Structure 1
C-alpha cells in the first residue's frame, strides 16, 4: 500500500479516513475493528493538527504508512509538530468515567478512546518527529 502525506490541517482528516479504510479493507479487518482503528487515528490526527500545528503556530504535514503481516495491521503517523506524547497527557481515568457528565473535566477523552480502540498503541519521538504507531490484530 502506498504512503499518504497530507497537510497538517483539519481539511486532511477525510483523506486520512479514506487511507485507513483502504488499509483496513486490505487487511481484512471486520467492521468493528476497522471503525475503532479509524476512530483512534482520527482522534490522534486531530490532536496533532490542533495542538502540534495550529496552536503552536506551525505548518507541517502528516505522513501515514500502513504495514501488514499475517498477524497485524500497523499504521504509523509521523509529524513535525510540537512534541505530543499521548501517554503523558492527562487522559480520562476509569474513576472519571464513572462520574456524571456535569462533574467530569473537559479534555482527555479522545486520547483515552484512541488508546483503547487498538490492540497496541506506541509513541516515539525520533529526530524531531512525532511517531504514533497503531497496531491491530488481524483475526
Structure 2
C-alpha cells in the first residue's frame, strides 16, 4: 500500500509533513521510539529541502512524500525540485566533535548524522530534475531493537 501527498515547499508545511510521517508510522505499528526516530529523520530532510533547496536557492516548489508499507518495512520517499544536493558529500561529525559543547562545534552536519542514525537505511538520488531521499524503517528490526515481542 502506498500513500502520497504533496506539500508546498514552505516552513509552514513541516507540521503537516510530520503528521503524514506519524500517520504512516502508526499504520506500520512502529512503537513510540520508532515513530519519533522516523519523524525526526523526515523533519530534518524536509527542513533541509525547504530551507536550502528552495528558500536559500530562490526557488519555489513542493515536497512530495510517499509512504509504502509492506510486511517487512515502512519506506518513505521524499522528493523535491530544489537545488541539487548530495547528502553523502557532506562531512559527518567525528566522535570528538560530537563530544564538544554546541558553541564550539562546527555548524552543519549534525542533522544528517541524526537522520542516518534514526532509520534502518537511507538513500539519496538525483533523478532528472528531482532530488529523492528514501528512508526505510525495518519493522522487525524496530520491534527487536525495542523489545516488542510481537
Q: Contact between 1:66 and 1:76, CA under 8 Å: does it hold in 2?
A: yes
Give secondary structure in 2 for the equivalent of 1:2. Answer: strand
2:62 aligned with 1:41: no
C-alpha RMSD over aligned residues: 1.1
Q: Which runs of no fewer than 5 residues in structure 1 stay unpaired?
A: none
Unmatched 5+ stretches in structure 2: 141-150
State the TM-score, normalized to the length of structure 2. 0.89
Match of 1:123 in 2: 124
Deviation at 1:72, TM superposition (A): 0.5
Note the C-alpha offset of 1:108.
1.3
Q: 1-side partners of 2:52 and 2:103: how far apart?
A: 25
1:84 aligns with 2:58: no
Question: C-alpha offsets along residues 82-136 of structure 1, whole Å, 9 cap, x if unaligned?
Answer: 0112111233222211223332112211111011100101000111100000000
What is the aligned residue count? 139
**TM-score normalised by structure 1 residue count:** 0.95
Residue number in structure 1 paired with 2:27: 26
